[in-house]
Amino acid sequence: MSEPLVMGIESSCDETGVGIVRGAELLAHALSSSMEQHVRFGGVVPEVASRAHLEAMVPTLEQAYAESGIRVQDVDAIAVTSGPGLTGALLVGVAAAKALALAHDKPLYGVNHLAAHVAVDQLEHGRFGERVAALLVSGGHTELLLVDDIVTGITMLGQTIDDAAGEAFDKVARLLDLPYPGGPHIDRVARDGDPTAIAFPRGLTTGRDMDKHRYDFSFSGLKSAVSRHVQHEHRMGRPVNTADVAASFQDAVCDVLTKKTIAACLEHDVDTLIIGGGVAANARLRHFAQERAAKAGIKVRIPRLGLCTDNGAMVAALGAEVVRRGIAPSSLDLPADSSMPV
Ligand code: KG4
Ligand code: ZN
């Protein structure tokens, strides 16, 4: 079979995405985000996200047609994120994919959002070797994955036990009176700060915590430490040094993320690390990852930012892998599974 032509639909959080790929070749990458509607709430509101998906789905589909000159009639299969994610948001994409599959008699494939975040890298950097590790860091997830096979062999090595990495950035930005979503603002402000100014805690890195949670992450203690620091400065009548706090906080997050990830790569004999999710944009994370991976002889692959954040192309990329292997399609009663394991 020649490379399969696959459409992918994403709607697990606040991005409505429709992507079209032929094998590992990206043909359409249409996106609509409802982020602006969530800003005043300081976080993604599920009900608002679902309604926005409903409004954006058809225009985004049409945008993908316009970009590629390919319509749903032409594709070999339709892939859709069926989990994990916000239930109401997932349901919009799953319902749209089912309607298209039924109307045009196309096979439907429900795919895992986390696996899709990993698979998308192949659109940019070519097929993976035997075994890779992946660090996924966004507002909704923080996972460290061992990938022996993108379709059948993903193991969760670790994950956050409280806040997601991006969520920690967003909450700390709020403490520093920076706008939502806070990650890019902390990244920018931190450039003028001293990352060693304040010794913030590195969660789950010592003693029993480390033994029990070798590759897990925890950011809520760090967020509380930032909050205590800010309150202390206020009590002392001193202005908060936003740049130093941002730089020290960011350093703590990125230090732990990269240290544990590189240790996992070495333990599992992995020579390639993929980083995905919105936090992959962070300058400090990229710096630590590149520097520490190079020392350990590990290659780092980070897809361009538009492919790191949620999108339909990643769903299409994973769908194409599934189709290529001749795996049976999902049934038309495919459910949305908000806590789908990897
Ligand atoms: O993948 P994404 O666009 O959406 C989901 O959460 O699914 O990730 C958004 C998250 C937000 O928490 C945002 O603050 C964070 O990624 N983020 C960053 C940076 N850019 C975005 N965090 C740290 N540094 C950045 N430069
Ligand atoms: Zn995601």
Q: What is the mean pLDDT of residues 189-194?
A: 98
Checking if the pLDDT of 34 tops 70, the result is yes
Does 125 reside within a domain? Answer: no
Cα(12) to centroid(ligand 2), Å: 8
Q: What is the mean pLDDT of residues 88-117?
A: 98
Checking if the pLDDT of 102 tops 90, the result is yes
Measured from the CB, is residue 329 less than 6 Å from ligand 1?
Answer: no
| pLDDT for the residue 339 | 96
- Total domains, the chain: 2
What's the mean per-residue pLDDT of the chain? 97
Does 77 reside within a domain? Answer: yes
Contact 264, 297 (CB under 8 A): no
pLDDT digits 0-9 by tens, 82-98: 999 999 999 999 999 99
| pLDDT for the residue 143 | 97
Contact 309, 168 (CB under 8 A): no
Mutate to test the pocket of ligand 1, among 279, 288, 305, 307 (most ligand atoms within 8 A of CB): 279
Residues of the chain above pLDDT 70, percent: 100
Measured from the CB, is residue 183 less than 6 Å from ligand 1?
Answer: yes
Distance CA 132, CA 129 (A): 7
Residues of the chain above pLDDT 90, percent: 98
Closest CA to 53 of 7, 14, 87, 111: 14
For ligand 1, atom 13, the nearest C-alpha belongs to 183
Domain encompassing residue 79: 5-120+311-324
Nearest ligand to the C-alpha atom of residue 114:
2
> Which CATH number does the domain housing residue 262 bear?
3.30.420.40
Q: What is the mean pLDDT of residues 68-82?
A: 98
pTM to 2 decimal places = 0.96
Cα(202) to centroid(ligand 2), Å: 24
Residues 112 and 143 occupy one common structural domain: no
Checking if the pLDDT of 230 tops 80, the result is yes
Residues 294 and 145 occupy one common structural domain: yes
**Residue 282 among known ligand-binding residues:** yes
For ligand 1, atom 18, the nearest C-alpha belongs to 183
| pLDDT for the residue 226 | 98
Does 153 reside within a domain? Answer: yes
Nearest ligand to the C-alpha atom of residue 166:
1
Measured from the CB, is residue 83 less than 6 Å from ligand 1?
Answer: no
| pLDDT for the residue 51 | 98
Distance CA 186, CA 242 (A): 9
Checking if the pLDDT of 316 tops 80, the result is yes
Does 333 reside within a domain? Answer: no
Q: What is the mean pLDDT of residues 43-68?
A: 97
Residues 182 and 285 occupy one common structural domain: yes
Name the band, by pLDDT with cuts 50, 70 and 90, for residue 330. Answer: very high
pLDDT digits 0-9 by tens, 197-224: 999 999 999 999 999 999 999 999 999 9
pLDDT digits 0-9 by tens, 232-255: 999 999 999 999 999 999 999 999
Name the band, by pLDDT with cuts 50, 70 and 90, for residue 331. Answer: very high
Residues 151 and 260 occupy one common structural domain: yes
Does 257 reside within a domain? Answer: yes
Residues 249 and 181 occupy one common structural domain: yes
Residues 151 and 272 occupy one common structural domain: yes
| pLDDT for the residue 323 | 97
Measured from the CB, is residue 277 less than 6 Å from ligand 1?
Answer: yes
Name the band, by pLDDT with cuts 50, 70 and 90, for residue 1. Answer: low
Residues 110 and 235 occupy one common structural domain: no
For ligand 1, atom 8, the nearest C-alpha belongs to 278
Closest CA to 158 of 216, 219, 210, 118: 216
Checking if the pLDDT of 166 tops 80, the result is yes
| pLDDT for the residue 18 | 98
Name the band, by pLDDT with cuts 50, 70 and 90, for residue 129. Answer: confident
For ligand 1, atom 14, the nearest C-alpha belongs to 183
- Interface predicted TM-score (ipTM) of this complex, two decimals: 0.98
Name the band, by pLDDT with cuts 50, 70 and 90, for residue 2. Answer: confident
Does 179 reside within a domain? Answer: yes
Measured from the CB, is residue 203 less than 6 Å from ligand 1?
Answer: no
Residues 93 and 146 occupy one common structural domain: no
| pLDDT for the residue 130 | 85
